[in-house]
Amino acid sequence: MSQKTERPVLSGQRIKTRKRDEREKYDPAGFRDAVIAGLEKTEGDLDQISKFLDSAGNKLDYRRYGEVLFDILIAGGLLVPGGSISQDGEKPRTNYCIFDAPEDMESMRNHEQVFVKLIRRYKYLEKMFEEEMGKVLLFVKGFTPSERIKLARMTALWLVNGSVPPNVLLVLNNEHLIKDGIALEFLLELFLTFKQEKGIAYLIQALKKGGLESKLMDFFPLNKRTEEYFKQVFLDKELNEIIKLHKAQASQEAKRELQQTLIDDINDEKAHNEITADIKEFAQRTNIPDHEIIVIIWSTIMSLGEWNKKEELVTDQAVRHLKTYCTLLQAFASTDRSELALILKVQEFCYENMNFMKAFQKIILLFYKTEVLSEEIILRWYKDGHSNKGKMHFLEQMRKFAEWLQSAEEESESEDEQKLGD
């Protein structure tokens, strides 16, 4: 049986590559021209635009040119750094885009649906759209005031429907957008639209989700970063909840700073009168009331303890630890509200840390003996001031002590009445 002889191959012969395996040259202008040509045929009918975009995805390479596609749908053409449109080619721009749409919300919502349908049809465009928005928002200074308004309103709609995440707005925290007030103007228009579409509660939720709640002041020009101006800006736009959010955030930051100051003072082994002076000065500067300070002091000193895991040992350990801080706590147990806040915090701590469940009564007794807590507030807590956390357990622990306080109070009243009678 004859064998088939191998055909000789010349050394260095080049293997030909099939056409379809060759990577096409990156040609965003060519892609743009094809999309614009299709959009022009629709004559601006949004339903026809959606149908064109749906079918064009089978022929045009959306995976490669997704951001170019969004440039066209938003601005009408290829965006170049600075926010202007590339003028290369015979037809570099179309009027069938967001920037040339009417500003009214009905028109904006209709354009929103074009994007919703497109991204729903081609899911891989989701990530590209998010990246596109990061770029487009950086260019906002290069757009006209009318284009900024439309983009702000559309961005609000995209945030509401989840097309883009709220943290995309952080790109506006850029010096060249902040100094002329452009970033702030954009955000105000966006906030108003979001509030109108979804409500203020969802707007606050989105700001927290995007990590903007602690950065709102950063979007104000440097020479206008005052609490008074911040308040006035949002009051004028009837965005009062933003002011509350800002105040709450500032308060939380101040409390964290206070806690760190307290830890540093304790680690430096400062005398309690010095620590008290430091805390009072800080509290006056940041407007933190005593009933909040005493809770911070409790949380801080308890966080410094290394607690035994055995329930029968931790009570004595806690009492010894707290004894050294009673004078500090006493300095801020200055009102009935402060005292009650402290008892409730102790109750919550003992409930949430199971090893301390039996320690509650001993801790309250210590605070009574060292005059951190008065009998009047302890009895108020016992009667109706307690929380529901471990309620029955802690009331039972305190029953004999509360009864003793009550009888002592009644005897004192009886003696006072007798003296008055005499």
- Same domain, yes or no: 171 and 37: yes
Residue 4 has pLDDT above 60, yes or no: no
Q: Give me the chain's average pLDDT, please.
A: 90
CA dist 219 and 174 (Å) reads 8
For residue 372, being part of any structural domain is answered with yes
Residue 8's pLDDT band, with cuts at 50, 70 and 90, is: low
Query: Which CATH number covers residue 91?
Result: 1.25.40.180
Looking at residue 413, what is its pLDDT?
Answer: 55
Same domain for 298 and 234 = no
Task: Encode pLDDT of 145-202 as tens digits.
Answer: 999 999 999 999 999 999 999 999 999 999 999 999 999 999 999 999 999 999 999 9
Same domain, 389 and 328: yes
Residue 142 lies in a domain: yes
User: Residues with Cβ < 8 Å from 293, sequence gap 6 or more?
Assistant: 258, 279, 283, 332, 338
Q: How far is CA 242 from CA 36, 47, 156, 214, 253, in A?
A: 41, 38, 16, 11, 16
pLDDT for 20 equals: 46
Q: According to the model, what pLDDT value does residue 420 have?
A: 40
Exposed/middle/buried for 218, CB within 10 Å: 0-12, 13-18, 19+?
middle
Question: What's the rounded mean pLDDT across residues 367-387?
Answer: 93
Interatomic CA distance for residues 175 and 181, integer angstroms: 10
Same domain, 233 and 315: no
Under a CB-based contact definition with an 8 Å cutoff, are residues 110 and 100 in contact? no
Range scoring the smallest mean pLDDT among 1-5, 189-193, 215-219: 1-5
The last residue of one of the domains, among 239, 256, 281, is 239
- Of 180, 207, 239, the residue that ends a domain is 239
**Residues sharing a CB contact under 8 Å with residue 315, sequence separation 6 or more, in sequence order:** 356, 358, 359, 362
Residues 58 and 193 in one domain: yes
With respect to residue 172, please indicate whether it lies within any of the assigned structural domains.
yes
**Weakest-pLDDT range from 82-91, 229-238, 293-302, 344-353:** 82-91
Mean pLDDT for 263-275 is 92
The answer to whether residues 220 and 333 belong to one domain is: no
Would you say 69 and 57 are in contact if contact means Cβ atoms under 8 Å apart?
A: no
Domain assignment present for 1: no
Mapped onto helix, strand or coil, the DSSP state of residue 15 is: coil
pLDDT for 305: 87
184 is a domain residue: yes
Q: How far is CA 298 from CA 316, 324, 351, in A?
A: 17, 12, 15
Which one is predicted more confidently, 12 or 216?
216
Residue 10 has pLDDT above 60, yes or no: no
User: For residue range 236-250, what is the model confidence (pLDDT) as tens digits?
Assistant: 999 999 999 998 888
Average pLDDT, integer, range 219-230: 94
Question: Considering its fold, how many domains does the chain have in total?
Answer: 2
Q: End of a domain among 239, 258, 281?
A: 239
Residue 401, domain extent: 289-408
β-bridge partners, 84: 80
Query: Are 221 and 300 part of one and the same domain?
Result: no
Query: Is 89 in the same domain as 194?
Result: yes
Task: Provide mean pLDDT across the span 42-53.
Answer: 95
Asked, for residue 275, whether it belongs to a domain, the answer is no
Same domain (yes/no): 210, 134: yes
Q: What pLDDT shows up at residue 15? A: 45
pLDDT band at 417 (very low <50, low <70, confident <90, very high): very low
Q: Are residues 334 and 201 in the same domain?
A: no
The answer on 169 and 36 residing in a single domain is yes
Q: What is the pLDDT of residue 408?
A: 73
Tell me whether residue 277 is in a domain.
no
Identify whether 339 is part of a domain. yes
Mean pLDDT (whole number) for 403-413: 75
Do 161 and 232 belong together in one domain? Answer: yes
